[in-house]
Amino acid sequence: MTSRPDLPVPFEALPNPRGGSVRLAEMALTDALHAFQRQGETGAALKRAIAALHSAGWLPAQRFAEALALVAPLGEESGGSHARIAEALAVFRAAVERHNLRELSCSTVLFDHYRGLHALLAAHTRVAPVSYDDLALVGRAIAPATLRGFAPERLAHVRAHYEETLLELLRGPVEASADAFARLDACLDELRGSDPYDFWRLASSAVRALRERAERNGAELDHIADAKRLYARFNLVLADQAHALSYAPRSLVRATLALLWRDFALYGAAPEDTEHVDVLRDYGLTVAWHVAATQASEAAWEEGAAQAGEEASREAATRDLGVLRVNSAAYEDFLQSAETSIDALVERGAQASETGTVDEAAALSAADASHRLGTAACALGLGHVALLADTLGLAWRRVAHHGETHADGAEGATRGLDAMVPERAAQMLRSMLHQAAAGIAPSEGRGSIVALTAMIERPMPITR
């Protein structure tokens, strides 16, 4: 975690000085905090924040604000509850003011507060336990993760070796962890299939990334603990595979994917992380490439970012896109880069729907264009545009990896419809960008996301 003594609350990701701000939400959260500290009414202010965050497409932040609205009335019960809610509100307000959408999705500090809010709520009503992906992946489509067929004898052997090593890892001394990790990784490598959406590819990448992050940062215990918990949960998937199940549990896929994305979303990726980034892209998640390799360089970047943010708010011209206020220069840069990406997407979609065929290279090119657009929209603060672009990129990757080409008969008709779904989504994205160019808040694109999600999450035939 990054922290500075002159800041009132800790934060993890770097501030985004060129990112758009939701001033209505910032002011509403400030009003809510002041009212809460005086034991006044916070409901109206939090409702304003929720509405503004929803309009901007900052969905994880909207969900956090909704939790605050539910729990705030409980602050009068005890001093401890009041302090916990006040701290959560202050930390959340500061995060919203940093304009970093990836931090709002993946911050472990925010999630710890979110979990604490739900714990207070659970004392009064029956609520489901929350998990990290509830914030990190809100609104996102999740591609099914496959389990390939195995000869029963071979799978039984791998499973027995995995369980034996897992027990050693969980019960043995810390000094023996490295050897246990290596043997468990060897089991995961043996289980892994050729499908880009094979569950063991995702599983292997997640636990390795957690351990690599721990090694870089002096063996952080939280990362090692997360890796151990994942290894333990993977043992349950082995039982599913032994019973010839074709897909890993969706809840575990979400949890694994969120943990893999967490550190890369917060801190960025280095060149040596390329393999992990490729896995994330196949699941529709993007990251920034980070070059600040030392604490000194990161601190210098933070200081420059804070100064740039102050200068931008003081001197730079701004544009209002509904509730989102953006830096005019960043806005113009975004529109120029988005034009190239959206033209490529519309062209690919039109070709696919007209011919009924999809070339793998063309589909991957369309996916990359979607990811570039999603990354740029995320940096500017256009949450609805970013989510639709990321979802469209995931849909195109599913098409590319699973060879959704034309065929004769009913199957061909079904796959022809699939080719039209990305085309319509690209047209919707173009409409949203035209709205942004005209100074109008982009629409949600909810219908396109629902159609893409149905396409993405539909199980594919598996040969066992």
pLDDT in tens, 286-326: 998 865 444 554 555 556 555 655 655 555 689 999 999 99
* Weakest-pLDDT range from 36-50, 177-191, 345-359: 345-359
On whether both 233 and 322 belong to a single domain, the answer is no
pLDDT at site 125: 82
* Structural domain contains residue 447: yes
What letter does residue 11 receive in the DSSP assignment? B
What percent of the chain is modeled with pLDDT above 70? 84
Domain that holds residue 41: 21-130
Q: Cβ distance 235 to 166 under 8 Å?
A: yes
Task: State the pTM of this model.
Answer: 0.89
| pLDDT given at position 414 | 38
Same domain (yes/no): 159, 122: no
Q: Which of 373, 192, 181, 193 has the alpha carbon at shortest distance from 284?
A: 373
pLDDT band at 195 (very low <50, low <70, confident <90, very high): very high
Say yes or no: 338 and 444 in one domain: yes
Q: In what order do the strands lie in the sheet with 21-22?
A: 21-22, 324-327, 318-321
Which of 282, 306, 325 terminates a domain? The answer is 282
> pLDDT value at position 306?
59
Regarding whether 111 and 185 lie in a shared domain, the answer is: no
**162 and 234 co-located in one domain:** yes
Radius of gyration of the chain (CA): 23
Q: Could you read off the pLDDT of 412-433 as tens digits, one per residue?
A: 433 444 668 888 999 999 999 9
Q: What is the mean pLDDT of residues 445-450?
A: 95
Q: Domain check: are 31 and 93 in the same one?
A: yes
Provide the pLDDT for residue 47. Answer: 97
User: What residues have CB less than 8 Å from 407, skipping those under 6 apart?
Assistant: 415
Say if 249 falls within a structural domain: yes
- pLDDT of res. 214: 86
Give the whole-angstrom CA distance, residue 165 versus residue 139: 37
Domain count for the chain, please give it: 3
**Contact status, residue 267 vs residue 371, Cβ threshold 8 Å:** no
Spatial separation of the C-alpha atoms in residues 185 and 204, rounded to whole Å: 7
Same domain assignment for residues 109 and 169 = no
Residue 314: what pLDDT? 53
Residue 19 clears pLDDT 80, i.e. is over it: yes
DSSP lists the bridge partners of residue 327 as 318
